[in-house]
Structures are given as C-alpha cells and as structure tokens.
C-alpha cells in the first residue's frame, strides 16, 4: 500500500522535542546548572511527556481512528529521529524542520491536517507534572471550540490545540517573551477564534523553575 494513501487517526498529539544532547538543548537551564545536567533533565522530561501521552493511544485498531502520538524532533536526522521515537513509544517520528518556533509549529499543524487529522494538540517537553488527564481535557474542549490553549505562568502557553492550520495565529509572535499568550489571544480574536483556556502551569526553562520539584 502506498504510504500516502494510508488513513491515519483523526486526532494527533504532536510532541515538540529536541534531542537531549549536551549543549544543544535547554540552554537557559544549562547556563545555571551546567550543560550535562540540563541534557539529563531534557531526556527525563521527554520520557515523561511521552509517557503521559501514550495512554491516549489508538482506541480502535482500524486505520483512521483514535489518537496518534507523533514525536516532532529537532537536532537529529530522519533515522535517529525514528529510533528515538521508537524508544519513547511514539507511533512515529517526524522532523521539526528549520526556522523559529512559530514556523515549526505551523509546519507540524499543516502536516497533521494534511494527513487528515481533525483535532491536533501541540505540546513541548517542559512540564514535569503533565498528566494524561491534561491532554484528555484539551481534546474534550474541542466539543465547543476550535482553539485550546494551556496558559503558562511565564506568559506563554504549554499547549495549543487546533482543528485547522491557522498560520496567521503564529505570525509576528515574540516567542520566548512574556507576551506570547496575550498576543496570541489578541490574534485569535482578530481571526474570530474563541479559545478554551486550560489550567495554568509552570514550564521548566530556568534554574529557578526547578525549585517546586526539588526535594
């Protein structure tokens, strides 16, 4: 069968993850605790995120049903990404591609929708307390809205869910700043999108963010 004709599940959870190599991930965290320690934390966070997403699984064994878990990888080539995805229990791995965060998210949303996904969640690997229930709540929110956001305490968001690509939602956003969520909400209003906001969570990006989970 031609891979291009395979019917994929109608929902996708896309985990945006960077290969946990020393000096190539968690640079802000590494500046405070050391590059090797930051890479170890990145590896553990990636494992935790995939473990939280896996139970969603495919609820039906027939092609075209259920939820597909996709690892979108940065910092590796295709074969390395596939091996890492398999080791983490992802259904498959794809490459993030180049560009800034907004461009990479737009690319993953467009890919997922092109493949037939009607509900797509994008998450990173910065939430030590991420639970399967968080993702279930995000999917449940699609019953009434086409945009779901998980606010982060630093002014960004830890999850975004959409039922279509909506590239305009990501244009001109100053990624990494404290204005990401506010400007995204303003852009959503301009596009006629009314979001569902999930519970606020704290990302793990800087040494101070480790304190709630130490000890």
CATH number of the structural domain spanning residue 131: 3.90.550.10
Work out the angle between the directed axes of helices 35-53 and 78-88 (0-180°, nearest 10).
Answer: 60
In a domain, 27, yes or no: yes
In a domain, 1, yes or no: no
Average pLDDT over residues 100-115: 96
Q: State residue 60's pLDDT score.
A: 46
Q: What is the mean pLDDT of the chain?
A: 86
pLDDT confidence band for 6 (50 / 70 / 90): low
β-strand partners of 157? 151
Long-range contacts of residues 48-52, Cβ cutoff 8 Å, at least 24 apart = 48/125, 48/128, 48/130, 49/15, 49/17, 49/123, 49/124, 49/125, 49/127, 49/130, 50/15, 50/88, 50/89, 50/90, 51/89, 52/130, 52/131, 52/132, 52/134, 52/135
Phi first, then psi: give them for residue 42, nearest 5 degrees: -60, -40
Question: Are the beta carbons of 122 and 161 closer than 8 angstroms?
Answer: yes
Average pLDDT over residues 141-145: 96
Q: State residue 210's pLDDT score.
A: 53
Listed in sequence order, the residues at least 6 apart from 1 whose beta carbon sits closer than 8 Å to its beta carbon are none
Highest mean pLDDT among 5-14, 25-34, 104-113 belongs to 104-113
In a domain, 214, yes or no: no
- Domain count of the chain? 1
Residue with tokens 């405070």: 32
In terms of pLDDT, which residue wins out, 156 or 207?
156
pTM over the 0.85 mark:
yes
In a domain, 171, yes or no: yes
Q: State residue 8's pLDDT score.
A: 74
Q: State residue 64's pLDDT score.
A: 47
Element holding 95 (H helix, E strand): strand 92-95
pLDDT confidence band for 13 (50 / 70 / 90): very high
Phi first, then psi: give them for residue 150, nearest 5 degrees: -105, 100
Range of the domain at 153: 6-206
In a domain, 72, yes or no: yes
Res. 209: pLDDT tops 90 = no
In a domain, 146, yes or no: yes
Q: State residue 29's pLDDT score.
A: 57
pLDDT confidence band for 37 (50 / 70 / 90): confident
Least confident of 48-62, 78-92, 98-112, 159-173: 48-62
In a domain, 189, yes or no: yes
In a domain, 212, yes or no: no
Long-range contacts of residues 56-62, Cβ cutoff 8 Å, at least 24 apart = 56/13, 56/132, 56/135, 56/136, 56/139, 58/9, 58/91
Q: State residue 100's pLDDT score.
A: 94
Listed in sequence order, the residues at least 6 apart from 18 whose beta carbon sits closer than 8 Å to its beta carbon are 24, 25, 42, 73, 74, 75, 125
Query: What digits encode the pLDDT tens for the residues 58-88?
Result: 554 444 458 999 999 999 999 999 999 999 9
CA dist 192 and 189 (Å) reads: 5
């Amino acid at each position: 069968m031609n891979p291009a004709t395979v019917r994929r599940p109608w929902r996708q959870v896309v985990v945006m993850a960077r290969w946990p190599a020393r000096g190539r991930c968690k640079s802000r965290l590494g500046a405070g605790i050391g590059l090797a320690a930051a890479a170890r934390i990145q590896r553990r966070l990636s494992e935790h995120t995939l473990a939280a997403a896996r139970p969603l699984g495919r609820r039906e064994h027939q092609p075209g049903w259920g939820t597909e878990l996709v690892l979108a990888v940065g910092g590796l080539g295709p074969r390395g990404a596939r091996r890492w995805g398999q080791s983490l229990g992802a259904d498959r791995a794809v490459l993030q591609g180049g560009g800034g965060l907004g461009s990479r998210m737009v690319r993953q949303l467009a890919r997922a929708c092109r493949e037939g996904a009607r509900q797509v969640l994008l998450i990173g690997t910065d939430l030590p307390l991420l639970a399967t229930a968080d993702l279930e709540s995000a999917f449940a929110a699609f019953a009434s809205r086409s945009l779901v956001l998980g606010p982060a305490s630093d002014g960004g968001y830890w999850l975004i869910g959409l039922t279509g690509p909506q590239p305009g939602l990501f244009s001109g956003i100053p990624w990494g700043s404290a204005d990401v969520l506010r400007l995204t909400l303003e852009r959503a209003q301009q596009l006629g999108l009314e979001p569902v906001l999930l519970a606020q969570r704290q990302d793990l990006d800087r040494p101070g963010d480790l304190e709630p989970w130490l000890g």
